[in-house]
Amino acid sequence: MEAVLTEWLPALLVLLGASFMLLAAIGVARLPDVWMRMHASTKSATFGVGCMALAVVVSHLHELGVETRAIIIIGFVFQTAPVAAHMIGRAAYLKGVRPWRGTMRDELKGRYDPDTHTLASGNDS
């Protein structure tokens, strides 16, 4: 049973992680604007890294140092990727990057002051 756990499960997790990373790469290459690309890269790549690090944990059972580092990597990526994506999206909006022409609405239009970098709440109408 342990052979299955330490051989097949990590292989499956690496394959799953690589598939999500491939999906992220395709999303970055094919999606039309910075916000959609950012979404594809952040969500899929984060899950891909998590699966691969989890494969390391499963394949190195009973090695506390390796397991601890892999879990710390998962936590770091899961905490920093959303913040980085938010900052990239905000910087793109501030620089005036135009959204894809198929975008239905701009939630920040008329609510964001580019001089003070403040956002008016939706109740300020």
- Tell me the average pLDDT across 3-27: 90
Gap between the Cα atoms of 105 and 119, Å rounded: 17
Q: How far is CA 113 from the centre of its chain?
A: 28
Distances (CA, A) of 72 to 10, 18, 20, 65, 77: 18, 20, 20, 11, 9
pTM: 0.77
Q: What is the pLDDT of residues 26-84, one digit of tens each?
A: 999 999 999 889 988 898 989 999 999 999 999 888 889 999 999 999 999 999 999 99
For the chain, the domains span 2-119
Q: Which of these, 65, 47, 46, lies nearest to 57 by C-alpha position?
A: 65
